[in-house]
Chains A and B, each alone.
Chain A
Amino acid sequence: DAGITQSPRHKVTETGTPVTLRCHQTENHRYMYWYRQDPGHGLRLIHYSYGVKDTDKGEVSDGYSVSRSKTEDFLLTLESATSSQTSVYFCAISESTGSHEQFFGPGTRLTVL
């Protein structure tokens, strides 16, 4: 998986609790992305980063925040998890806009009860 790890791989939590998912890369790629995957919706972009401390919103950013304090780490936080955030979350990286290709991590399955 192109030097991308996600942690945890599985998590079950309760409504209203904060949750942080971590994406770690060893490729030194500039761009990092968080997607969620739901049946019938494909993958939808939550937030992305174009450098350390540089982040922006994607299509479905409500209820999520991100941080990137180091090139290799991109954190996704659900401040107060809701059942609608039950999903599989994928992190992706891209070397630069010129190369286009995004490499995906193995995913985190999150269940909010």
Chain B
Amino acid sequence: QQQVKQSPQSLIVQKGGISIINCAYENTAFDYFPWYQQFPGKGPALLIAIRPDVSEKKEGRFTISFNKSAKQFSLHIMDSQPGDSATYFCAASIQYNFNKFYFGSGTKLNVKP
């Protein structure tokens, strides 16, 4: 039983467009929601993260939208660039449960020039 469900599995966006990736969770005890970016042959790297006490967090072209009542959160990439082509993972964790991460299944983003 996957604790974090992610969609879509793959996404193709034109350069300059908006990329949107969605995640949903069931466990209301989760208190940290990061997004990781992974390039081929590399380990995942933290992109942006949010806690459930805020509804939105923005860092440059990347924004997390968080809907606590719906138990959903999403990543928006504005003005998508070919260099953003990578696999993106959402995750969730409980701070005082050894910070164990539960990951979504990943979204492979391809930004076409």
Interface size class of chain A, counting residues whose CB lies under 8 Å from the partner chain? 20 to 34
Write out the residue numbers on chain B whose beta carbons fall within 8 Å of the beta carbon of A90.
43-44
- Residue contact A31 to B98, C-beta cutoff 8 Å: yes
A48 and B100 within 8 A (CB) = yes
Quick check: is A74 within 8 A (CB to CB) of the other chain?
A: no
Residues from chain B with Cβ under 8 Å of A70 in the complex: none
In the complex, what residues of A have CB within 8 A of residue B97's CB?
97
| Chain A residue at minimum C-beta to C-beta distance from B3 | A59
User: Contact residues of A with B, CB < 8 Å?
Assistant: 1, 4, 31, 33, 35, 40-45, 48, 50, 56, 58-59, 90, 92, 94, 97-98, 100-107
Which residue numbers of B lie inside 8 Å of A, CB to CB?
Answer: 4, 6, 9, 32, 34, 36, 41-46, 49, 89, 93, 95-106
